[in-house]
Amino acid sequence: MAFTSRHPFTTDAYELGYLVGMREDKTLQQSSWANVAAPVGFLDNDFRDPDLDRYLERVDRYHPDVAVVGDATTYDEAERYQQAANNIRDIYSEVEPVIVPKCRDALEAIEQDTVIGWPNGYANIDPLDYSSIRDWRGRRVHILGGSPTDQYDIVQLLTQPTLTNDDPADIIGLDGNGVLKAAYFGEYWTPTGYERADHLSIRDTVRRSLEEMKEFWEGHGIWPDEEPIDRYGPAVKEPDEPIWMDDGGDPLVSRGDLEAAYIGEYEQGTMAFQSEAAKKYIEFHEGWR
């Protein structure tokens, strides 16, 4: 399950086991935090203002796990995205390209082994307006956007046995970030509907939705055994002792403290400092390397 947004929401999602990412014309907005570094695992395209050359530059920069190359509205556009997907796979075997067909001609132009994106959520078109379920069965599919309950209905539609014995689709992933918008309206997602979150901060509201979503998918047996954090390590490193080394041993008292901390890893252990200057000063005088 992928979640696209920015810090601190992506940081929390990543720690919960989500694959986090962003649209290629944006950033995770984590560079101003000394101790925050979530990987870009999911790279979406700017479908309102697509620029394939710019997108491929971002793939070169981030090497995401999943790359939504583009939304194809014509046969020629789909062919262009297919060539780009082939090039990505030739160069970066670990990157999984996705092409989103927005018409039947585009769907027919996409090669059988390429992941196709089922437009959902904010999409202004329904795949069933230009194709049938059988066109998607037997294909590798990523579901873009929508709530978990909507997405689960699509999973069932594409995978359950049929009277004609059609092959099931291989659902390789899902993504969505609608819970962020809901949080600004003071609500968090649950399987039975949105609940008021007047007692929670925006960050805590989003995290509550993400926790509910993960529990929902796990309850349906849909969650990876290996989470991205298992492969890439934590986005926010924690010191061996929750104290500032440059402030007389005073404790780090908040999540924000840890995210802003300058972390050093030494033979003596992992330690936290309040500033880069203090970190370098103590490293020099203590001989830590």
Q: How confident is the model at residue 121 (pLDDT cuts 50, 70, 90)?
A: confident
What share of residues in the chain are helix, strand, coil (percent, to 5)? Answer: 35, 20, 45
Radius of gyration over alpha carbons of the chain, in Å?
A: 22
Location of structure tokens 């309206």? 185
Lowest-confidence segment of 14-23, 43-52, 65-74, 105-114 by average pLDDT: 43-52
Q: How confident is the model at residue 48 (pLDDT cuts 50, 70, 90)?
A: confident
Phi, psi of 283 (to 5 degrees): -60, -45
* DSSP string for 62-123: H--SEEEEEEE-SHHHHHHHHHHHHHHHHH-TT-EEEEEE-SHHHHHHS-TTSEEEEE-TT-
Residue 136, SS3 per DSSP: helix
Q: What is the pLDDT of residue 247?
A: 78
Q: The domain 2-232 is classified under which CATH number: 3.30.450, 3.40.50, 3.20.20, 3.30.70?
A: 3.20.20
CATH 3.20.20 region(s) of the chain?
2-232
| pLDDT exceeds cutoff 90 at 141 | yes
- 122-140 residue pLDDT tens: 767 899 999 999 999 999 9
- 204-259 residue pLDDT tens: 999 999 999 999 999 999 999 999 999 999 999 999 999 999 877 889 989 999 99
Q: Is the pTM of this model over 0.85?
A: yes
- 153-198 residue pLDDT tens: 999 999 999 998 999 999 999 999 999 999 999 999 999 999 999 9
| pLDDT exceeds cutoff 80 at 269 | yes
Q: What is the pLDDT of residue 56?
A: 97
Give the Cα separation of 139 and 8 in Å (integer): 35
